[in-house]
Amino acid sequence: MQVVKPGKLLINNEWCEAESGKRFSVTNPATEQKLTDVAEGDAADVNRAVKAARRAFESGPWKTMSARERGRIINRIAILLDKHKEEFAELETLNNGKPISETRNADLPLSIETFEYYAGLADKIHGDTIPVSGNFFNYTLREPAGVVGQIIPWNFPLLMAAWKLGPALATGCTVVLKPAEQTPLTALKLGEIAIEAGLPAGVLNIIPGYGPTAGAAIATHPDVDKVAFTGSTEVGKIVMQLAGANLKRVSLELGGKAPNIVFADSDIEAAVNGAMRGIFFNQGEVCCAGSRLFLEEKIHDEFLSKLKTRVEKMIVGNPLDPKTQMGAQVSEEQFKKILGYIDQGKKEGATVLTGGAPAQPKGYFVKPTILEGVNNNMTVAREEIFGPVVCAIAFKNHDDLCRQANDTVYGLSAGIWTRDIGKAHRLAKEIKAGTIWINCYNCFDAASPFGGFKQSGFGRELGKYALELYTQVKSVWVSLD
Ligand code: NAI
Ligand code: MG
């Protein structure tokens, strides 16, 4: 196994300590042991990083190089990530607690593909010519947003860095990235690769640190033009307020409470697989997790008994074991929060069909849990648990289902299981959410947009849509007289 190195800040392609000299510990949530420590950036360091990013944006090779050359550098990041994918997968698993089978088969390939996709897109970003009235030639330029602050969470540390950096670099922005305090290690390793790939100094600066210090400094900084945030809805609201100080542009990818809907006419075996994938992937620490499992009354009992059998066979434990299907929750805080929600569910009348307790004496492992008899007004159905806890809710008919599915402040995603394609497409239009999966769940591709309705946020990441987040349009008028 690799040695886990202590981490520093990355400013202007140089690794340095925080000005305060402070460092913080990073823990392996599967063992509760310290993995290493990392320099703790705060406002002073963010300030240095923003200065470097501003310089790199306004002058220097990043500004003058062709878009195709930018694309080549981004592609080299993809190639180097691929070359080192096993080290990245292992480091992510050690730091986050997720199973190595998932880091190998989801986090790494999706991160690599994101850089590949935006490498290819870099030289295909352009404006339009517009047939205006009068004797004028009018055209638009699509210019980079400028210095971008990116604040990312701990559930997919490398992948969220890739989603943020791919489009920002492709458009010619420069970046100050703040990884989550729980999981800074793969983002820092990505910084090493970016330098090796030839990213000029100041284009990518990485400041590990805490939210209220480093994160808030990014959101408030007057010389940051745009902030992109992924995390809790609660902090999303704070970031938006802080960003108001200089009216910087904001995009937010926040929480969810997705309905995963199973009709009686679905392929039940496939739907059971989909329910499992929907809630137990990444220990349920997924913003689009299928956490409200809506079951048509006719199949409710049969479905839950099949699901229970499958859940009780899941292999939960050592995240580094390739056979493991579910690893540890990211932190003690998250572990306690999840167990607290299970208790709250019981108090409000739900029954634990299986799970409902820690899975191991050591490490932050929670048993995969099914709560039965949940109604949509209970706390467990309204708030994001962000753990391996699925809430089963029975429904009678289409109208009853639709009302309940949309009765949430969130709107990130939904799953629909039925063999009736007309019904599936009608419902896809009726559900207020940014992603709809029909007879599948948790499918991702760098080309397909992802983002929220309602309090799940705004702005779309991935695909061509993400270019909107990182560019601004300029209209140029030329007199032809
Ligand atoms: P969080 O929203 O506090 O953390 C996400 C990021 O925001 C981290 O980088 C953090 O350092 C930063 N941050 C925190 N406070 C900030 C502030 N005042 N200003 C600027 N940046 C700040 O999430 P947390 O506390 O780790 O988890 C709490 C809950 O949030 C979870 O239980 C889950 O329900 C939800 N969550 C949702 C995620 C998603 O993908 N939508 C990801 C992580 C958490
Ligand atoms: Mg927080």
Counting from 1 in the atom list of ligand 1, the atom nearest the Cα of 386 is 34
pLDDT score of 3: 83
Q: pLDDT at position 157, please? A: 98
394 is in which domain, residue-wise? 259-445
Q: Which atom of ligand 1 is nearest to the CA of 235?
A: 2
Q: Whose CA is nearest to atom 16 of ligand 1?
A: 211
Tell me the pLDDT of the chain averaged across its residues: 98
Residue 481 burial (10 A CB sphere; 0-12, 13-18, 19+): exposed
Q: Phi and psi (nearest 5°) for 101?
A: -65, -35
Domain count, the chain: 2
Strand partners, 7: 38
Q: Ligand 1 test: best mutation among 164, 227, 235, most atoms within 8 Å of CB?
A: 235
8 Å CB contact between 365 and 329: yes
**Is 296 contained in some domain?**
yes
Catalytic residue among 181, 253, 296, 384: 253
- CA-nearest residue, atom 14 of ligand 1: 211
Instruction: Name the closest-CA residue to atom 13, ligand 1.
Output: 211
Q: What is the CATH number of the domain that holds 441?
A: 3.40.309.10
Residue 289 lies in a domain: yes
Let me know if residue 213 belongs to a domain: yes
CA of 479 to the centre of ligand 1 (A): 51
Give the Å distance between the CA of 317 and the centre of ligand 1. 25
Residues 323, 348: one domain? Answer: yes
Rounded-to-integer distance, Cα 178 and Cα 151, Å? 5
Contact 140, 127 (CB under 8 A): yes
For the segment 21-69, what is each residue's pLDDT rounded down to a tens digit?
999 999 999 999 999 999 999 999 999 999 999 999 999 899 999 999 9
Question: Would you call 384 a catalytic residue per the annotation?
Answer: no
Residue 3 lies in a domain: no
Q: Is the pTM of this model over 0.95?
A: yes
What pLDDT score does 322 carry?
A: 98
In a domain, 148, yes or no: yes
- Ligand 1 pocket test, pick from 232, 257, 379 with the greatest ligand atom count within 8 Å of Cβ, gives 232
Told to judge if 288 belongs to the known catalytic residues of this protein, a careful annotator would answer: no
Compute CA distances 439 → 1, 46, 183, 286, 417, whole Å: 39, 45, 33, 19, 5
Assess whether pLDDT exceeds 80 at residue 148: yes
Q: Give yes or no: residues 149 and 18 share one domain.
A: yes
Do 248 and 328 share a structural domain?
no
Residues 128, 264 share a domain? no
Q: What is the CA radius of gyration of the chain?
A: 23
Q: What is the pLDDT of residue 32?
A: 98
404 and 467 together in one domain: no
State yes or no: pLDDT of 100 exceeds 80. Answer: yes
CATH of the domain at 27: 3.40.605.10
Ligand 1, atom 11: closest residue by C-alpha: 211
Asked if 232 and 341 sit in the same domain, the reply is no
Token pair 């048509």: residue: 296
